[in-house]
Amino acid sequence: MGKTLDELFDKLDAVAERMEQGFREIDKRFQNVDRRFEQIDKRFEQIDKRFEQIDKRFEQIDKRFEHIDKRFEQIDKRFERIEERLDKHERRLISVEEMTASLIQMVGHTNARLEEVQADVHDLHAAFKQTNETVTFLDKKVWEQEKQLFLLRERFDKYLDDKNRS
């Protein structure tokens, strides 16, 4: 009976050790989950900062619109007094709007071109990486061939020396 109790305790110890190992693995997984949550939290913080930047930018834009609104009120007052100046300002405004439209088109074209350039740079990087790997491979093969040639030359020289001695 003492022997069976010892065996039973040994088995219980083994089961307890396996359970402890399982708990350690669970703890590791929880740590991984915690790390992922921390990464997610950091990403959300970055997103929050971007939203704050966007909000500040909108505030700046709102202030500029308020400023523009005040300017329009001034222009309306001047319109009542000086109709000729308004025509002149109106022509300038149309010109500015046309330039703005032109600039918007140019910005769109520039963005498209930048995307093309970025894709080209990505392709060049991939090609460079492949070429570099190929060059490394070929360099290794050339070195192996040179080594083989050297050994062959040594054998040939030894053969000639042996033949000349005989």
Q: Is residue 75 within 8 Å of residue 89, measured between CB atoms?
A: yes
2 confidence band (pLDDT: 50, 70, 90): low
Q: What is the pLDDT of residues 117-134, one digit of tens each?
A: 899 889 888 888 998 888
> Average pLDDT of the chain?
87
- Residue 85 has what pLDDT? 67
Question: Higher confidence at residue 57 or residue 107?
Answer: 57
What gap in Å lies between CA 99 and CA 109, rounded to an integer? 15
105 confidence band (pLDDT: 50, 70, 90): very high
Q: What is the pLDDT of residues 21-69, one digit of tens each?
A: 989 999 999 999 999 989 998 998 998 899 899 899 989 988 998 998 8
- Residue 53 has what pLDDT? 93
Give first-to-last CA distance, the chain, whole Å.
Answer: 88
Model confidence at 89: pLDDT above 70: yes
The two structure tokens encoding residue 81: 């007094």
What gap in Å lies between CA 139 and CA 145, rounded to an integer? 10
What gap in Å lies between CA 154 and CA 87, rounded to an integer? 97
Region 76-101: mean pLDDT is 81
Model confidence at 106: pLDDT above 80: yes
The two structure tokens encoding residue 80: 């009542």
pTM: 0.33
Task: Tell me the H-state helices in the chain.
Answer: 2-81, 83-165
Region 130-148: mean pLDDT is 91
